[in-house]
Every structure is written in structure tokens, then in C-alpha cells.
Structure 1
Amino acid sequence: MQRKQVIGILVNRNSGEAYAGLKIKHDFNLIYFNPEDINWRRRTIRGLYRTKYGLHYKSMPIPLVIYNRLYPHDSETIKQLMSLRPPVQVFNQITQLDKWIIYKELVETELEPYLPRTYEYDMAGLHEALADHQQVVLKPRIGRQGAGIWRLTVKPANQLKIEHELPLPILLPYSEAMMKLLHILMIPYTMIIQEYIDLAKADGASFDIRALVQKNRCGDWEVTAITSRVAEKNHYITNIYEKILLTSQLLSEYDYPTNKILACVEDLSITAAEKLEKALGHLGEISVDIGLDQSCKPWIIEVNGKPDKLLYGELDNPDLLQKVQTTPLEYASFLGSKKRRL
């Protein structure tokens, strides 16, 4: 009888991903490991081995297919793994995406009409963005889980409304001195400037749409989950959210054109995944955050290279949670099966 295939999952130390309640029903076993678990001289790893019988630590040769869940990604480790012989396939080689690079890649494609105008941050770019749009969002180029986001709005009488992580917005003169002060506050981070999209509302609260795009057991991209975060009242970003639910449920409840929007979201998200894989290297999953404006036009707000699976645990939908967890593993098994046939 042929031995079960082993899929490696490269994780951060103490990530806890191995304890996600995954049900093993497939013809593969899993081993969770981090870069410190690799013995390069012997070409082995020691990790947390998972079968249908449970978990235990085990040493074994480096698996030939590895699903990268490190965040931030470790380029050197991945480069070393891929240089081994026989070759190791690593997918999701980049998990920490740079918003400016993502924008530059996608703006040259058919997705350009669905991208908020984005500027690389500097003083000249900020003046230009405010002149073009009157309201913009500043955010770190590298994701910080919603931290470090500012909204600036040009108001009458040459005033600038500034909203950050404060209970109340600040209204200051739109002056060169104020802009220099703002620039000093941005120094710790490398930022982008994005045209602000006034998101569609549910009971007066903004909501977004997150499409999880994953490769399946046939190696094809598919959208496996579409969910929405409803922001807390008076918050302009959905990272601070009151609830999460299936987008189909939300759109139907508030009389949005559900089928039309969902079809468009799927199309945009799969196209984004295809384009980014060509630019960034081997991918197996991404999530695409989309916002509807007041006319229901979808806008790609940002793309995540390591989708947060914990969100799906908040939905009380075990079947969906199982699907989003196992689909990348089925893709890894597909890659391994191809190697066996060669």
C-alpha cells in the first residue's frame, strides 16, 4: 500500500495553527515546522506531525511540497528550500505584501478601473492627492492589522480634518507647517496615500467584502468564501468591526443586488490572484478586500498575502471553516501527486 503523502506547513513558532480543529479525511498527513526546525546538513525537519490519530513531534526528510504560512515571510529560508535537490515546491512564497507594489502591478491590468487612485507617500504626493480627491487615507505600505491608518479631509476655510486612532477628529489649518508636522508623524512607517472610498452602509455602518481566493485540488483558482465585516458605528475602517457575516446574507438583508455584486466580486478576485501570481511567484491563496461605494461599484481596497483564517471561526459555520482550511492542503496534495507521476 502506498504511504500517505506528507505536506509541510511552514509556520511561525508558537503560532497554534496546528490546533485549528482540522479534521483529517484526506490521503495526506501534515507536519508543522518553522525555520529553526530545519537541519540543512541532514536535509530533515523536526516538527509537529499530524495524522488522523493525533499530534506528535517527529523528525523526517524535508517534504517536497510546503505551504508557507510564515508572517512576515522569510525569503532566505524559502530560497534555500527551493534550491534543494530534489526540488521542493513552496507556495505563497510572499505573505507580507507591499501595498504600493501591489497597486503598481494591478494598475497596469484590466483591474485599473476598480482600484482607488494611489500615491507613493511624500509631501508632494500628499498635496497632489488632497487636491485631486479632497479626502484620502494614509496607511502603511506593509500591513499592520489596521494600525497606523489616517484619514484626511479638506474642509472649507482652508482647514484639514485629521482622523487617526483618537476618540475625536482634529481640525487644523491646512498649512505648510502642519503638513511638515504630519510628515514627522509618518517617519516611523513607509506609507501610501489612497483615494478614500465612502463605503456602502448597513444600518448606517460601513461594511466591506473579503473574498478568499484559493487554488483547489485541480490547481485552479476559486473563491471559497465571501464575507463582510460591518464596522462599528462612526468608524471609517472595517478593521474595527462590530460583526462579521456572509456577504450574501448581508446584501440580501439590505436589498443590495446580491447576485450581480457577488459575481463581480468573484471575477475581480480571481483576476487579481492570477495577475499577482505572475508578478510575485507561486501562490496558493490570497484574500481580496473590496469596498462598494454609494453607487454599488466595487473597489479593490487591498490584497492580503496571508489570509486570516480566524475570521471564519466567528461565523458559526463549521463546513465553511473546514473548507477554507483544507482547500490549500488539497492543492498541496495536487502538487505532490504531480511530482509523483513525473
Structure 2
Amino acid sequence: MSIQRISSKQAKTNVLLANSKLKDYIPATGHFDRSTVQRMLDQYGMIYVKPVVGTFGSGVIRIEKHPGTSSPYRFQSVVSKYSFRTFDEMYAKLGKVKKRKPYLVQKGIHMLKYNGRRFDLRVMVQMNPQSRWESTGIIGRVAHPRKIVTNYHAGGTPLPVNRLMSGYLTAEQRNHFERRLRTLGITVAEALKKKYPRIKEIGLDIAFDKSLKPWILEVNTSPDPFIFKKLPDRSVFRKIYSYAIAYGRFKPLKRKK
């Protein structure tokens, strides 16, 4: 039986919003249209628009409103930045820049930074050989200095969680912090499995605001395990890869004779 993948960000978000344990971790999200963009931008001051289906952060655009300035409406796509005097001008340009596919709108989170660069964390959750969910790895992803997404394939830098959080938490607090993340990852996997019973793995992308509240930005049902090879502790990747072999994502490596 093949491993189930869910490509729609909106479909996965809807599952999490329906769960009483998880809904408070989801940034406000809406369907992309003119009124939603204007309303959410007025309400939050920063929003992200994302393709409903997409990978590696491709097509993601950050929009900001800075009242009291000569060009209060601004957005960034990849490394290109634009500024506008009016919402109408901004929205017209946005329609030309974004991909011609369905989008959603999400409240922007002012993420923690490491050396001036935004970062989030990827939590890998897998079905273990005992058929139980297990959070098998956590890694940080630091955005490229000129980009708005943290994805490794978009120039992000993978780093250990301890290094990223050492400026925000003590060693004891970091241990508690990681336990909470692992528990949250399992809760998300369990919620999704009720709707999509053939999933075997998820990659949970979590950002933190200045109060250290976790926000679930996205759930990937085909997460890249190889980013974990960047961790100093190679045993993390070995476990992740061995579990992926056990549930059939990869074939066992042939031993050389």
C-alpha cells in the first residue's frame, strides 16, 4: 500500500483547525482574493500569500503595510522588492508577480532571528517499526539573508536547534522546549492520520514569535529527510532513514561485496 501524500496546504490546515488541541497554533488563514488580502493586511500589518499546492517555498510572497510612510504598501517575492503608494497599485502588481494558480493568505509571524536572519524549525515525525508515531528529528532552518523563506532548497541554512535557541532559552529550558515540540509533532500526525489513514511521515514547520509562542506554518507529507544529514549527530539521520526504509519510502541499500 502506497504512502499517502496531501498536496493541498488548505486541506491540511482545515484538519488542524478542526482539532481543539491544535487550532490555536495555526495563523489566521483565508482564501486568496482582493478583499481578504486587504482585510488581513489592515488587521495584521504583515501577511504571506502562498500557493495552495507548492514545495520549497516557491511562489511565496510577503506583503507588508507601513502606515504613515510615502509608500506604505510593500511586498517581496524571492529577492525582488516592490513598494506602492496605494493598495490598488500593490494589488495590481501582485496579480502579475504571483503564479497563476490558487493561493491562500496567512497572517505573518514576526519570527525569531539568528544573526539577523529569520529562522523556523522542522520537526520530523514518522511511523516507527512498532506502528507508533515518533518525533525522530528537529532541525533549524535559517533564511537566506535576501530571501523570505527558510527552505534549504531556497538557500536556507540548516542548523542545530540548540545553537539557534541558546540566545532565547537556558539549557534546561531548551530540553523542555524540545519535548514540547516532539509532543506537538505527534499530535499533528495523529490528527492528520484520522483524515488521511495512509500517511507515514510528516515534516512540521514551526515558527516562534517574540513571546516564544509556536506557530504551525505548514505540514509537509513528503518531507526531505536528507536535511538531517547536516546535523553534527549523524545518528538522527540514520534513524530517520531506517524508519523510511521500514515503511517503504526507500529501498534498503545494497551492501557491497
TM-score (normalizing by structure 1): 0.65
What residue in structure 1 maps to residue 45 of structure 2? 134
**Given the alignment of the two structures, is residue 248 of structure 1 paired with residue 166 of structure 2, yes or no?**
no
**Given the alignment of the two structures, is residue 159 of structure 1 paired with residue 69 of structure 2, yes or no?**
no
Structure 1 position 241, deviation (Å): 4.5
Residue from 211, 232, 243 that aligns with 2:123: 211
State which structure, 1 or 2, has the greater radius of gyration over its C-alpha atoms: 1
**Given the alignment of the two structures, is residue 107 of structure 1 paired with residue 107 of structure 2, yes or no?**
no
Structure 1 position 242, deviation (Å): 4.9
What residue in structure 1 maps to residue 252 of structure 2? none
Matches within 5 A, 1:110-189: 110-157=21-68, 159-167=72-80, 169-186=81-98, 188-189=100-101
Residue from 120, 132, 140 that aligns with 1:220: 132
Structure 1 position 281, deviation (Å): 2.7
CA distance in 1, matches of 2:106, 2:13: 10
Structure 1 position 237, deviation (Å): 2.0
CA distance in 1, matches of 2:10, 2:200: 21
Change (3 A) 1:187 1:233: closer
**Structure 2 unaligned residues grouped into runs of 5+:** 249-257
CA distance in 2, matches of 1:305, 1:255: 30
**Given the alignment of the two structures, is residue 98 of structure 1 paired with residue 8 of structure 2, yes or no?**
yes
What secondary structure is seen at the aligned counterpart in 2 of 1:329? helix
CA distance in 2, matches of 1:230, 1:186: 24
Letter aligned with residue 83 of structure 2:
L
Deviations 1:63-88 (Å, cap 9, x if unpaired)? xxxxxxxxxxxxxxxxxxxxxxxxxx
What secondary structure is seen at the aligned counterpart in 1 of 2:62? strand
**Given the alignment of the two structures, is residue 321 of structure 1 paired with residue 234 of structure 2, yes or no?**
no
CA distance in 2, matches of 1:283, 1:175: 41
CA distance in 1, matches of 2:55, 2:156: 19
What secondary structure is seen at the aligned counterpart in 2 of 1:142? coil
Structure 1 position 234, deviation (Å): 5.0
Identity %: 27
What secondary structure is seen at the aligned counterpart in 2 of 1:263? helix
Q: Is the 8 A contact 1:229 1:241 kept in 2?
A: no
TM-score (normalizing by structure 2): 0.86
Change (3 A) 1:134 1:328: same
Cα RMSD for the two superposed structures: 2.0
Letter aligned with residue 164 of structure 2:
L
- Work out the number of aligned pairs and report it: 240
What secondary structure is seen at the aligned counterpart in 1 of 2:122? strand
What residue in structure 2 maps to residue 39 of structure 1? none
**Structure 1 unaligned residues grouped into runs of 5+:** 1-88, 333-342
What secondary structure is seen at the aligned counterpart in 2 of 1:217? coil
What secondary structure is seen at the aligned counterpart in 2 of 1:192? strand
CA distance in 1, matches of 2:164, 2:59: 28
What secondary structure is seen at the aligned counterpart in 1 of 2:125? strand
**Given the alignment of the two structures, is residue 292 of structure 1 paired with residue 208 of structure 2, yes or no?**
yes
* Higher RCO (C-alpha 8 Å, min separation 6): 2
What residue in structure 1 maps to residue 253 of structure 2? none
CA distance in 2, matches of 1:246, 1:223: 16
Relative to its length, the structure with more strand (as a share) is 1
